[in-house]
Chain A
Amino acid sequence: MLLLTGTLPAPISSAPLVILIYVVLILMVASALASVLLRDMIYALGTFAATMLLVALLYLTVAPLLLFTVQLLIFAVISAVLVAGLLRMTVGFERRAVGPFSQEWIVGGAVSAAILALLAVVLAATSWPVHVCCSLVEDFAGTLTNGYVVALATIVILLACAALGSGLLVASPGLQRRQSRTRNAPTLPSPRGGGKRRR
């Protein structure tokens, strides 16, 4: 049974912090939108990294410091390095083939608008609890290693498997053989045709 004692933490009211949070949130959504819409892959990567950094900054204001550090140093950096490595490996700085206002974009816009509307309705219609039980005072690292040790171990195994699996996929010998075969594939015959050369 849940004890409802005390009140919820008050919203942040310090003016500089509130302004910072507003700016970070607006920039975060704008940069995420830009990374989805931009034509150039390198700009999309830059705005994606900016979004990750802004999320880290957001965590700094409302979450434990360890989460900010992990988001900034591990998630943001590794994600950006992974995408940049892929682009460098594949020279993927392509122009967008599908223009704006195509059918795909209209469908995608409609779906995302529907998601946003649904979430807005849920936010507006739900009356969130206004009381809270006693606050447990424990540091974040202690919580991770005590209360979530199984989840932590699972995540570590998941990340290790992902790193191993992605490495195996990229360095797959069968794939490289197929690629070299494609590279050494015979070319089409000359349009002038074969046969003996006339003299």
Chain B
Amino acid sequence: MTAGLDLFLIASAALLAVGGFAVVARQNAVITLLGAQFMLLAGGIAFVAFGRFGFGAQNRNGAAAMALFAGATALAQLAIGLAMAAILYREHRSFVLDADAE
């Protein structure tokens, strides 16, 4: 039993699908933001996997740098998104994005 590129890419794809489900299906703004976080994390994991096992191994640190930048972008997106969610809550006393869906 080995752990190679395929395993990490499958896990990354699964995490991306979970994030996509949250973004599409959930009406809660906070959960939607968490889903977007998962999608960016999945991208970071794929970068790291390619850097460790794949063609990117010629510059492994470059792949890790990409993962770092993806994480930082996710953090910035989370900060702004949560501030907008706070405003949404103050206006409507709810995190529900689509009021008509309720």
Contact = CB atoms under 8 A, between A and B. Distances in A.
Contacts of A135: 57-58, 60
Nearest to A135: B58
A104 B32 CA distance: 13
A5 to B, nearest CB: 10
Contacts of A116: 13-14, 16-17
Interface centre among A67, A87, A133, A163 (most CB of B within 10 A): A67
Contact of B52 (A17, A62, A129): A62
Contact of A98 (B6, B27, B53): B27
A151 B75 CA distance: 16
A162 B25 contact: no
A107 B65 CA distance: 35
A85 B78 CA distance: 12
Given A90-B89, A123-B13, A169-B84, A67 B68 contact: yes
Given A63-B51, A79-B75, A140 B18 contact: no
A17 B18 contact: no
A137 to B, nearest CB: 9
Contacts of A161: 76
B61 A36 contact: no
B18 A112 contact: yes
Contacts of A144: 61, 65, 68
B83 A32 contact: no
B95 to A, nearest CB: 6
Contact of A158 (B13, B27, B76, B86): B76
Contacts of A35: 31, 34
A152 B77 CA distance: 17
A66 B93 CA distance: 41
A28 B44 CA distance: 14
Contacts of A41: 28, 30
Interface string A115-135: 110011001000011001111
Nearest to A154: B69
Interface of B: 1-11, 13-28, 30-31, 34-35, 37-38, 41, 44-45, 48-49, 51-55, 57-62, 64-65, 67-69, 71-80, 82-87, 89-90, 94-96, 101-102
7 contacts: A29-B18, A98-B26, A104-B24, A112-B17, A123-B10, A147-B62, A147-B65
Given A108-B24, A123-B10, 8 more contacts: A25-B7, A32-B38, A48-B37, A59-B48, A94-B95, A97-B102, A104-B24, A108-B21
